[in-house]
Amino acid sequence: MDPIVVILIAGLVVIALVMVWISIYNGIVTADNKCDNAWQTIDAQLQRRNDLIPNLVETVKGYAAHESQTLEAVTAARAAVTEARSPEAKMEASNVLTDTLKSLFAVAEAYPDLKANANFQQLQSELSDTENRISYARMSFNDMVLEYNNAIETFPGSLVAGRRFRPRAGFEVASPAAREAPEVRF
């Protein structure tokens, strides 16, 4: 075989391998960026929820001033979400806030006048809508994390990812009780 043909074939093989490597690398970067984007969506919804909570707490204060422990717990949980810096810390703080909000709404159940208050109903509706958005954004984030982790952990992506890309953690159920089936009695 002619040496020029061998060199051309070897050159084409090298170019093809470089193109494949570039394609895989770009796919990993794209998946990583999708994870960042999905996290930013969650962060925006968490901020929306944090903005609603002071108004909700003030509304409840007017009706249930002696429920200060619950109101303080909600305020502290909101502050923890605001102060959290890493996605993992925000995830954990957000789960705590969700639990304390459940306590706040349980308090509201004991006050019919509060439940009937239009401002409270609007805030509760907006908060419920925001919680649904957060839930959807978390599912989207987990999908993006799965795509990214698959890209860096499967062959040949694992070769391209090397040490530059690390697996990400998605949202998990925070409370073991949430995994249990509810008991229904008639």
pLDDT score of 63: 80
Which residue reads 């200060």 in tokens?
A: 68
What count of other Cβ atoms lies within 10 Å of the Cβ of residue 137?
20
| Paired tokens of 44 | 């925006």
pLDDT score of 174: 65
Rounded to whole angstroms, how far apart are CA atoms 51 and 102?
A: 17
Written as tens digits, the pLDDT of the chain (186 aa) is: 799 999 999 999 999 999 999 999 999 999 999 999 999 999 999 999 999 999 888 888 888 777 788 888 999 999 999 999 988 898 889 889 988 888 888 888 888 888 788 888 899 899 999 999 999 999 999 999 999 999 999 999 999 999 999 999 998 876 665 556 556 555
| Paired tokens of 71 | 């109101």
CATH class of 3-166: mainly alpha
The residue ranges of every structural domain in the chain are 3-166
| Paired tokens of 99 | 């639990």
Rounded to whole angstroms, how far apart are CA atoms 148 and 138?
A: 15
